[in-house]
């Protein structure tokens, strides 16, 4: 906010508020702590009551939780908080669908580094809530020799030798291959993991026979919810899929039923909750006051039973 929230600033000051977080679709909830943090930054006294935890399944119309904070903080943080929660929940939901579609106890689904800039840590966390696993987080996490590395080194053997010469023996070496000749080269150079990239199902079966348990096998390339079940009965170890993050949509969530504590009844310590009618009335008072119509404001206060002095 370069100059504050110019809409909310015209309507509210320090009133307290309460709002409901509601699911508008079925899915896996993910990112509640991130959602909370947005409002805590805006109001350190914000409180939350959640009926679900990260990783739980929610259904349409479920009350996910209630947020109590300064009304201004609620309105200012709403979109940012929901953006994180909806995105992360969408990824967890899509991931869960892929895990269910694969339906395998032996093959694990992995994410990739194809994540939204600045969002990787959140998106990879969401993947785990959906039941899949994380591949490397960044280039320092693991050795992966891809096609451009192979070209730069002058072949798979040279690439593996160069990588092995400067890295500790405890680091596994993964090589991306696209054909059977490269599979054999990777085996001869003693690669620990062989990634079969963009191979058809029948080609994968033949590559599996060539490898014959001598390396961990990962399959990748254009694997999504629509075709992942085709990999169920293959003798492989992992499936990595960029679709798990970049094809995932958002889970439809909304903040509704905002209640605002405007002020106090005359002669009472009880705080009155705001309604839409009171909300509109309050807006009119603020706007008229700014234009100097104090007489109108006083009449409005007297007729409503409120005191705004």
Residue 69 contacts residue 103 (beta carbons within 8 Å): no
- Does residue 129 contact residue 54 with C-beta atoms inside 8 Å? yes
| Active-site residue (options: 24, 114, 157, 172) | 114
CA distance 95 to 102: 11
Active site residue 190: no
* Helix ranges restricted to H, 191-293: 201-211, 243-246, 276-290
Give me the half-sphere count of Cα atoms (radius 13 Å) on the Cβ side of residue 2.
0
Give the DSSP H/E element, type plus range, for residue 267: none
Give the count of alpha carbons within 13 A of 57, CB side only.
Answer: 7
The answer to whether 185 and 153 have CB atoms below 8 angstroms apart is no
CA–CA dist 101, 138 (Å, integer)? 28
CA 47 to CA 193: how far, in whole Å? 47
Q: How far is CA 203 from CA 77, 174, 267, in A?
A: 51, 19, 82
Q: Which alpha helices (DSSP H) does the chain contain, by range?
A: 8-11, 32-42, 71-102, 120-129, 147-153, 156-166, 180-188, 201-211, 243-246, 276-290, 294-304
∠83-87-91 over CA atoms, to 5°? 170
Other CB atoms within 10 Å distance of the CB of residue 277: 8
| Catalytically annotated residues | 114
């Amino acid at each position: 906010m370069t100059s504050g929230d110019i809409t909310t600033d015209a309507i509210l000051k320090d009133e307290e508020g309460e709002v409901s977080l509601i699911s508008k679709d079925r899915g896996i909830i993910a990112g509640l702590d991130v959602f909370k943090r947005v409002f805590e930054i805006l109001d350190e006294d914000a409180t939350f009551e959640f009926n679900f935890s990260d990783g739980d399944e929610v259904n349409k119309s479920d009350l996910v939780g209630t947020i109590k904070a300064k009304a201004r903080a609620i309105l200012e943080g709403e979109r940012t908080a929901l953006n994180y929660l909806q995105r992360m929940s969408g990824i967890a939901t899509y991931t869960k669908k892929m895990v269910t579609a694969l339906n395998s106890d032996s093959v694990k689904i992995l994410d990739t580094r194809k994540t939204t800039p600045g969002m990787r840590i959140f998106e990879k966390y969401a993947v785990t809530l959906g039941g899949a696993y994380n591949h490397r987080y960044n280039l320092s996490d693991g050795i992966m020799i891809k096609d451009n590395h192979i070209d730069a080194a002058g072949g798979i053997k040279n690439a593996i030798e160069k990588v092995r010469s400067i890295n500790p023996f405890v680091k596994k070496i993964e090589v991306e291959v696209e054909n059977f000749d490269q599979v054999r080269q990777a085996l001869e150079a003693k690669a620990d993991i062989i990634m079969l990239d963009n191979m058809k199902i029948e080609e994968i079966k033949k590559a599996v026979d060539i490898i014959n348990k001598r390396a961990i096998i990962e399959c990748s390339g254009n694997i999504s919810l629509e075709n992942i079940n085709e990999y169920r009965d293959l003798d492989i170890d992992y499936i990595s899929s960029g679709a798990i993050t970049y094809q995932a949509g958002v889970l439809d969530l909304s903040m509704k039923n905002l209640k605002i504590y405007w002020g106090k009844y005359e002669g009472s310590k009880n705080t009155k909750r705001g309604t839409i009618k009171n909300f509109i009335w309050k807006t009119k008072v603020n706007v008229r006051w700014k234009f100097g119509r104090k007489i109108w404001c006083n009449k409005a206060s007297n007729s409503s039973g409120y005191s705004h002095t």
